[in-house]
Amino acid sequence: MSLSEQASGHPRLHQLPQTHQLKALMTIIRDRATKRGDFVFYSDRVIRLLVEEGLNYLPVVAKEVTTPMEVPFQGVAFEGRICGVSIMRAGESMEQGLRDVCTSVRIGKVLIQRDERTAQPKLYYSKLPRDISDRWVLLLDPMLATGGSASKCVEVLLEAGVREERILFINLICAPEGALAMLNKFSKMQIVTAEIDEGIDDRKFILPGLGDFGDRYFGTED
């Protein structure tokens, strides 16, 4: 069984339904010929789908309301409060998609970069909501390659008191190596992704991938 097959069959790795619409959107943003305006527009559409799907994995409680017809309706409400945490810089591209779905949502930020001396991910900046330990956290980063930076960010959240089972990592594309590494290291967190790619190359780039998401989204390509 290939790594991609192992990842796609993991019970805590959830892919968006592989519809024709999603495939068309992903084809556009993967195409190197796509202009920045279209890349941003269609990426935002996928991000919105991911956030909507992510909310499906949050717990709910029963709630009764009364309709305008004076009839009771047995529905549900989310059990707890949520917040977003974006991994800078590319993760910031997903913040608006979260705000579009969850009004007035609080969003924290974490900056993690590779230490040139140790080659290990190092925390450079963290600003989280004060009550984050009481919330469900949607961790935002569009690309999951080796999982090094994302794993470091999860450690930051755990140190801040967030319960591991309340962390939901949302990304557009993941490499099976990184996804499996994270799921093995953190036995209770979940991942929601649009597509699982073939793997990573010698430079740790996702294949077939889409290039540097942050550069393409923010217009800072060379």
75-108 per-position pLDDT tens digit = 999 888 999 999 998 999 999 999 999 988 999 9
Q: How far apart are the C-alpha atoms of 119 and 199, rounded to whole Å?
A: 21
Q: What is the pLDDT of residue 104?
A: 87
Nearest to 113 by CA among 124, 105, 103: 124
Assess contact for 211 and 32: CB atoms under 8 A: yes
DSSP state of 55: H
For the chain, which domains are there?
A: 3-218 (3.40.50.2020)
Percentage of the chain exceeding pLDDT 90: 84
Q: What percent of the chain has pLDDT over 70?
A: 97
pLDDT confidence of residue 222 = 66
Q: Which residues, 6+ apart, have CB-to-CB distance to 175 below 8 Å? A: 144, 145, 146, 196, 197, 198, 199, 200, 206, 207
Q: What is the pLDDT of residues 103-136, one digit of tens each?
A: 889 999 999 987 666 667 889 899 999 999 999 9
Catalytically active residues, by annotation: 114, 118, 212, 215
